[in-house]
Each structure stands twice: as structure tokens, then as C-alpha cells.
Copies of this chain bind each other. A is one copy, B any other.
Amino acid sequence: MEARKLILTGDRPTGNLHLGHYIGVLKSRVEQQYTHNQYILVADVQALTDYYETPQRVVENSLEVVKDYLAVGIDPQISTILIQSQIPAIAELTIYYMNLVSVSRLERNPTVKNEIAQKGLGKTLPIGFLNYPVSQAADITAFGGELVSGGEDQIPMIEQTNEIVRKFNRMYNTNCLKEASIYLSKVPRLVGIDGKAKASKSLNNAIFLSDPPEVIKEKVFAMFTDANHLKVSDPGMVDGNVVFTYLDAFCEDKDEIDSLKLKYQKGGLGDATLKSLLNDLLQNMLQPIREKRRLLSREYILDVCYDGTSRARKVSEVILNDVRNAIGINFFNKVKK
């Protein structure tokens, strides 16, 4: 039997997870855990590069995100859920890698460039932020990640990681670091309830896994449909209609969707009826997730994090030791332990 490949995935704990995550990464992770050796990194240190002024929120969000993982079916016995800040090897690897990457190389990184432009940071950006691709290389290599699960925006990060890996291995004449590949998840992007952009916390246009029933209903009824569909008898547009987008994403019965679409396009299906259908569907889908969330105590979540982090820490320490041996700075290895 071939060993399962180690796949790394994770989230910056900057808020609860929503339906966009559910249809995308969360469902993939539930499947991947049976085919891969899956590590799910709660990247709290990375979140602190942005939210260093509100660390308490980062900690709370970390625990909430893990709650979401368990509620959707990620099994902490199979997947390794770990808290980044509790893995000291990542910091040490980052420091060593920082000698191998130039400032100009980092300034050319598309993700960094983009974020700097978006946030209007310019030269006021903290060095911790500029260094983010190096930290991510440490995250990936700390556990010997062979695959990194993510979208196309992750590709430049993996390229940077592999540059470091090759440079390190060549310089120190070793093969202790492994290159990683992208594992492009077929992540359908879910549009927000306003239909304008993808669902996101910051745009306040997402339905969260933790939303109570009345909030879900409110959000469904606020969804953008077709601005010209005023009366029930009017013919309506299906394209760009958020309710249908969500039905396509979450309703298993494709025949039913098709007949609804026909009816809507002809005229005779009101938005309120349509939204009620979607509301029922989402309520049924989210109710057990929310119920499971409710049953998960803070103590249990901390236990899960502790166990996963302890397993991951052991793996990372073996790799850090290899790296230090390769550089040749394990002073005391031969003397005593």
C-alpha cells in the first residue's frame, strides 16, 4: 500500500466560515481526509500580520473555525488540525529561509503586490507582511507538505516555496526539504447574496454556517434576483439571479431546478415562493451543522487543537532538526541531549 500524500490546507482565522467555504474548500477537505494525510493549518500567526492590534479576535476566530471544521464532518482523528502559533519550528525555519530570499523578489510576489495596493500600504507595510511568502514556505515545508490545496492565487506562493527549497537543498547539499505541488481544488466561487461579488465576511454578503435560522431567512429574502421581475406573472431572468445560483450550488434535485427555471423564465413563479424554497433547503442543510456546532464545547475544541498540534509539532521538529543538521548548526547533538 502506497503511503498517502501529505496535503496541507488551512485558513487565516479572520472570521467564521460561510456557505462559500462550505461548497468549496470544506467539502473538499471532508473528502480529502480519506485519500490524503491531511494537515489543516489554522494560520493565527499569519492573521496577526494584519490583526496584530486585535489578537483576542484572532484567537476566538481560530476556535470558531475549528468548530466549523468539525461541524461539517472533518474528523480530527483522521485530519491533523493544528494551530500555527503553537509550532515553534515554523518561526525558526522562517528565520533561516529569510537569508535566501531578496527584498526585491518579495516585492515582485503578485499576492504581496496586490495586498499592498489594496490596502494602500506602500512603504509603511510591516516587514512581517512583506515576509509573508517566506513564512508560508516555512508552513509548507515544516510538515513536509507534498501538496498544497488551494486556488490559482496559491501558485505564486508555492513557486516561492519551491525556489527556497531548491536553493536550500543546493546550498547545503541536502535533500531534506521537499518541493510541493498545487492541488487545485475545484472550488466553485459562490457569489454573495447581493450578486455583486463573491461571498465574503468583509462585504457582509455571506450566509455563515453559524447563522441562526432567522438570519438565514433574512439573508435569503434579501437576495438579488431580477430587478425587472416585479409581478409574479412577469417573465424573470435566471442568469445572474442569486437565488438560482444558490439552488444550483446546494440543491441535489437537478430536475426540480430545471423545472423551476422554466417556470420562472415563462412567468408565474414569484420571488417569495422561490426564496421560500431556497430557505427551506438551506435551513435543512444548516440545521444539523449548527446543532453539531452547539454541542461542541470550548474545552473539546481546545482538546482537538492540542492533539492535532502535538502530532504536527513532532513532525515539524524532525524536519527542523534535519534543516539544522544540513546547515551544520546542531552544536550540541553529539555532546548531549
Q: B-contacting residues of A (Cβ < 8 Å)?
A: 44-45, 48-49, 52-53, 55-56, 58-59, 62, 83, 85-86, 88, 91-92, 94-96, 98-104, 106-107, 123-131, 134-135, 171-172, 299, 302-303, 305-306, 309, 324, 327-329, 331-332, 335-336
**Do B103 and A329 touch (CB < 8 A)?**
no
* Nearest Cβ on chain B to A165's Cβ, whole angstroms: 15
**Do B99 and A48 touch (CB < 8 A)?**
yes
**Do B127 and A331 touch (CB < 8 A)?**
no
Give Cα A128–Cα B103 distance, bound, in whole angstroms: 9
| Chain B residues, Cβ within 8 Å of A125 | 102-103
**Do B328 and A56 touch (CB < 8 A)?**
yes
* Nearest Cβ on chain B to A159's Cβ, whole angstroms: 17
Q: Beyond A58-B329, A95-B45, A332-B86, is A104–B128 a contact (Cβ under 8 Å)?
A: no
**Do B55 and A100 touch (CB < 8 A)?**
no
**Do B91 and A103 touch (CB < 8 A)?**
no
| Chain B residues, Cβ within 8 Å of A59 | 328-329, 331
* Nearest Cβ on chain B to A100's Cβ, whole angstroms: 7
**Do B127 and A335 touch (CB < 8 A)?**
no
Give Cα A45–Cα B99 distance, bound, in whole angstroms: 10
Give Cα A86–Cα B299 distance, bound, in whole angstroms: 34
Give Cα A335–Cα B309 distance, bound, in whole angstroms: 13
| Chain B residues, Cβ within 8 Å of A324 | 85
Give Cα A86–Cα B52 distance, bound, in whole angstroms: 27
Q: Which partner residue on chain B sits nearest A42 by CB separation? A: B331
Since A48-B327, A127-B134 are in contact, a sample of 4 more A-B pairs with Cβ atoms closer than 8 Å, ordered by chain A residue number, is: A98-B126, A99-B128, A127-B131, A302-B332
| Chain B residues, Cβ within 8 Å of A92 | 88, 91
Q: What are 11 A-B residue pairs whose CB atoms fall within 8 Å in the complex?
A: A48-B96, A48-B327, A55-B327, A59-B328, A83-B331, A91-B94, A103-B126, A299-B335, A302-B335, A306-B331, A306-B336
From the candidates B48, B55, B329, name the one contacting A44 in the complex (CB within 8 A).
B329
**Do A88 and B86 touch (CB < 8 A)?**
no
Q: Beyond A127-B106, A127-B127, A331-B85, is A91–B95 a contact (Cβ under 8 Å)?
A: yes
**Do A52 and B131 touch (CB < 8 A)?**
no
| Chain B residues, Cβ within 8 Å of A128 | 95, 98-101
From the candidates B52, B96, B99, B329, name the one contacting A100 in the complex (CB within 8 A).
B52
Give Cα A303–Cα B99 distance, bound, in whole angstroms: 29
* Nearest Cβ on chain B to A121's Cβ, whole angstroms: 9
